[in-house]
Structure 1
Amino acid sequence: MTLAFTPKRDIEEGQQDTSHTERLELANHTVMKAWSLLSKRWYPDYHMAPFSGWMGVPGGLCHHNGVYHVFYQHNPFRENWGPMHWGHFTSEDLVHWNPQPIALAPGESFDHDGCFSGSSVSYDNKIYIFYTGHTWCTETKKGGGSASVGDGTSFYQQQCVAVSSDGVNFEKLGVVVRPPPGYVHFRDPKVWQQDGRWWMVCGARDVTKDLGQLLLFTTQDLLCWDDTNWQVIGMTEDKNVFMWECPDFFQLDERDVFVYSPQGVRKVGYANRNRFQSGYLLGSWDTSLVEPAPPQVKGEAPRGPAGRGRAIGGPRWLTSFDVTQRFRELDRGHDFYAPQTLSTMDGRQLIIGWMDMWESPMPTREHGWSGCLTLPRELILDSLTGSIRMVPPKELQQLRCAQATIPVQRILESTDRLLVEECTAYELDIAFNTETSTAEKYGLWLGSGAELYVDAQSKRLVLNRHYPQYMLSGYRSCEMPAGVLLQLHVFIDRSSIEVFVN
C-alpha cells in the first residue's frame, strides 16, 4: 500500500512556511498596489470581485465559528488565468463580504504551478482546505507553461490539504490523494462527512476512455486517505464530454444531489448554449455497502498533521448513486460556471457560481481586473416539478436602501415607461400579466445594450445583450413559466445582471 500522505519536503522545519509566507506577502502587496490604480467604472457594488487580477471559480465555501468563508481561484499578478492562488472573502451576514489576505500561493513541489480549486471543512475548531496541486511537466515549463490543458501529458495533478486555526493563515500539509493509474486530469476535490466517514469526490478523465468521470474516495481519518482504494461513482454517457469539473454533493429535502460542470456537451436547440455547462443530478446514494476499516495496528505511528502515518488495511467498499433525474442546467444565462454550495447556520443550502465563462472576452481586463461571483442563491426542491429552483435568499433584503414603488399600469403599443434613471446598482421586482397582454414582445430595457423580454410567439423569456464594442453579443432564453403573472426579480450591479423568474 502506498503512503497516502506526503510529509513536508526534506528541508529544515519552518522553511516551507517561510517561503510560502514570502510568496503570500508578494501576492497581497501586488493586489493592494494595483487596487489603488484600478478603474472602478464596471466594478460591482455588492458582488464579490477581485481587488485586482483574475477571479476564477469559487471553492472552499463553509461556515466556521459564526463566519462564512468563500475562497476563489485567483491570479493576483495578471487579469488572465495563470498560477492559481486562493483568494478569500468572509462575511457574518452573507451580504457584506470582507476581503481577506490570500490564503494559498503555489510553489511547493506538490503544487508548484497552481493551487487549483477544491473545498473546505470546518472540523476540530480548524478549517481544512482540500485543493488540487497542479504541476506542469518539465517540457511544458520550458515552453512557459502554455501547453493545452487538454493535453493529458503536460501536467500532474494531486489532492492536497492545508489547515488554519484562525481562519486566515493556512499551513500546507502536503498531498493526501494521488491520481489513480491512467488518470492525469484529476482535480477539484469536494470533501464532506456523512454516515460516520469522510468522503471525497474529484472530477477526472482517464487516458483510455477519454471521458468525464467522478472518482470517489473514503476514510475515517480526515488527514489519511487510501488512494489505492477508489471508485468511479459517475461517468458520462455522452462521448463528446471529456471532463467533469468542480463536483459538489449534498442533500436537499432528503434527496441526494450531485452538482458538476461537464465540458464538451453539444448545443441542442435553446439548451447548452455556453462554452461549458453547470447542472445537477438527483438520485439516491447508498453507502450501506461500505465495510469498516480494520482497527489500527497497535504500535503504529499515529496518523495526523505530521504526515508520517499511513492508511492501514483500507476498507473494501462499494457505493451506488441511483439517478432519478438526469442532468439539468442550473442557470440559463450567459455567464455561470462551477457553482459550489454553502450550508447556512440555519440549515439552508446556498449556491454561488463563477459569473463568467471560459473564452469570454472579459472586457474589464482592460480595467485591471476580471471575473466576479454570483450572489448567493438559495436552493429549493420544487415538489411539483421535482427540479431545483434558485431564489434570492432573505439576507439580500439588507441591501435595500431608497425604494420606489411603480403603480400598476397598462402600457400601450409602441410606448415605454422609465422605471430607473441614473442608477448603476439596484434591485427590481416587477410582474407582467401575460393573460391580458396582446403584445408580441414586451419587457425591459436594461441599460444601453441589454434587454429582457417576452417573445409571445415562441413563448420564451429572452435575455439579449448586444455590446459589439466589447465583443459581447447573443441571447439566452428559457420557457415561459405557467401561470397568469410573470414575476421577474432582477439584480443589476454595474456590469452584471441576475434574473430570477417566478
Structure 2
Amino acid sequence: MKIESGCLHHADPNGPMYYKGVYHFFYQFNPYAPTFGRHMVWGHSVSYDLINWIHLNHALEPSESYDINGCYSGSITILPGEKPIIMYTGSDSNKHQVQNLAVPKNLSDPFLREWEKHPQNPILIPPSGVEVDGFRDPTTALQGSDGKWRVIIGAKNGDEGKALLYYSEDFVHWKLFPNPMYASENTGMFECPDFFPVYISGTKNGVDTSVHNSSVKHVLKTSYQNKQLEYYFLGDYFLDQEKFVADADLGGPNLNLILDHGMFYASKSFFDYAKNRRILWGWSKECDTTQDDYEKGWAGLQSIPRQVWLHTNGKMLMQWPIEEVEKLRENQISIKGEKLVGGSSLEVSGITASQADVEVLFELPELENAEFLDESEVDPHLL
C-alpha cells in the first residue's frame, strides 16, 4: 500500500468482488491524514480467504478534471466475458459530484493492479432536482431480461433523500428513469445505496445481482445521512415498470428495518460466486476524537465480512460472520459450571491474545423474575 505520511483514514467499502480466484476489496482511503478529505482515493487489497489480505497500490487517484477533488464511493459490475468495470463518483473541479468509469489495464492479471479511466468520463452529471454535491455512490448494476443495465445512484434535494434509477444498453450512455426508485423526507442524503435479490425460500445461498424471477424478493438498502444508520426495505421489483414496491407499502412488515444498530455505515454487498453466498461489508468510523486518530496514526476500520440472507418468515434479513472467521480462532479455553452471584467476577487465565472472542451461556434459575423489556419503550441503538 502506498503510504505518503504516517496517518491514514479508511472509510466506505467500495466494489468488493470475486474475480479469477481472488477476492478484491476497495475502500475510501485518505493517504495523507486520518480524516475524510479531498484527497480520497480507492485503496485496494486482495485475498484468497477474506481473512489474510495483501495491500496493493491505489486503484484510483484524483487526476482528471472530473475527479480532481476526490475519487469517492462506487461499485464494480462484472460485464459479460468476465470484464470488471468500476463506476465511481468523482468530485470535479467545481466540486460537483459526477459519475465515472474505469476498467482494468490487464484482464489477465488476477490482482487487477492497474486501472484506467474511461475516455468519455464523466458519464453522468447531477440531473435537475438534485443538489450538485448530493449525487453519488452508484450501486453494482443489474441486467434485465431485455439486456439493459440498471444502476441506482444516491441523491438528495434539501432534506429529501432519493434513490435514482438509470438504465443503459452499453454501460456508457445512461438515461434517468423519471421516477426515483425510492424517496424519503427528513432522511437527508441517501448514501451508499445497495440493491440485490434474496431467495424467498430462506436458504442461506446468495443470488447473483441480475437474477429476477418468482423465487426472489429484492432488498433496497440506504444509509440515511441524517441518522447515520443503515435502513433497508424488502419488496418486489417490477422490472417492466422499473418500480420497487416495499412490503410496507403493501401493508406488510415494519418499514424501518435497521441493518445494524452499532457503529456500522456505508455497507456494500457482493455475490460470491465461489461459495454461492452474498457477503456484506460495512465501515466502522469508531468513536475516537480527531486528536486520538492523529495520535494513533489511523482512523476507521472495516467490519468483519458477514453473510446475509432472508429469514424464513420473509420479514427480515439474517446476518452472520463469514465461516472463514473460524480460521482466526485457536487455543480455546472453556470454563463450565461456574456459579455467579450478584457482584461476583470470574477471571479467565491463560489468554495472551490481543483480541479474544468470548462466548458465554447463562442459565438463569429464576427466569420468571427477570426484568421484561418492552421493545416500544427501549431504543436498542442507545441500549
TM-score category, normalised to shorter length? 0.7 to 0.9
Between the aligned partners of 2:68 and 2:369, the Cα distance in structure 1 is 59
| More divergent stretch after superposition (185-194 vs 279-288) | 185-194
Q: Which residue of 2 aligns with 1:494?
A: none
Matches within 5 A, 1:35-184: 52-82=7-37, 83-123=39-79, 124-135=81-92, 137=94, 155-164=95-104, 165=107, 166=109, 167-173=112-118, 174-183=121-130, 184=132
Between the aligned partners of 1:437 and 1:229, the Cα distance in structure 2 is 55
| Matched residue SS, 2:52 | coil
Q: Is the 8 A contact 2:166 2:176 kept in 1?
A: no
| Matched residue SS, 1:425 | coil
Q: Is the 8 A contact 2:3 2:31 kept in 1?
A: no
Are 1:321 and 2:241 counterparts? no
Between the aligned partners of 2:114 and 2:96, the Cα distance in structure 1 is 26
Q: Give % identity.
A: 29
Larger Rg: 1
Distance 1:175 1:230, change over 3 A: farther
Between the aligned partners of 1:264 and 1:228, the Cα distance in structure 2 is 25
Between the aligned partners of 2:126 and 2:365, the Cα distance in structure 1 is 57
Q: Deviations over 1:20-78 (max 9, x none)?
A: xxxxxxx92516xx3xxxxxxxxxxxxxxxxx411011111111111111111011011
| Matched residue SS, 2:357 | strand
Are 1:283 and 2:235 counterparts? yes
Between the aligned partners of 2:280 and 2:98, the Cα distance in structure 1 is 26
Q: Is the 8 A contact 2:229 2:261 kept in 1?
A: no
Aligned residue among 184, 192, 198 for 1:246: 192
**Unpaired stretches in structure 2, ≥5 consecutive residues:** 200-215, 249-254
Q: Is the 8 A contact 1:177 1:227 kept in 2?
A: no
Q: Which residue of 2 aligns with 1:389?
A: 318
| Matched residue SS, 2:289 | coil
Cα deviation for residue 388 of structure 1 reads: 1.1
Between the aligned partners of 1:78 and 1:243, the Cα distance in structure 2 is 25
| TM-score w.r.t. length of structure 1 | 0.64
Matches within 5 A, 1:385-464: 386-419=315-348, 421-434=351-364, 436=366, 456=371, 458=373
| Matched residue SS, 2:170 | coil
Q: Which residue of 1 aligns with 2:265?
A: 337
CA RMSD, 1 decimal: 2.4
| 1:257 partner letter | V
| TM-score w.r.t. length of structure 2 | 0.82
Cα deviation for residue 328 of structure 1 reads: 1.2
Q: Which residue of 1 aligns with 2:213?
A: none
Q: Is the 8 A contact 2:141 2:149 kept in 1?
A: yes
Between the aligned partners of 1:409 and 1:95, the Cα distance in structure 2 is 34
Are 1:226 and 2:190 counterparts? no
Cα deviation for residue 340 of structure 1 reads: 0.6
Q: Is the 8 A contact 1:180 1:227 kept in 2?
A: no
Between the aligned partners of 2:245 and 2:366, the Cα distance in structure 1 is 44
| Matched residue SS, 2:301 | coil
Are 1:379 and 2:325 counterparts? no
| Matched residue SS, 2:332 | coil
Q: Which residue of 2 aligns with 1:211?
A: 160
**Unpaired stretches in structure 1, ≥5 consecutive residues:** 1-26, 35-51, 138-154, 266-275, 290-318, 441-455, 461-474, 479-502
| 1:426 partner letter | A
Q: Is the 8 A contact 2:142 2:151 kept in 1?
A: no
| 2:98 partner letter | Q
Q: Is the 8 A contact 2:139 2:151 kept in 1?
A: yes
Number of aligned residue pairs: 342
| Matched residue SS, 2:261 | coil
Between the aligned partners of 1:232 and 1:248, the Cα distance in structure 2 is 14
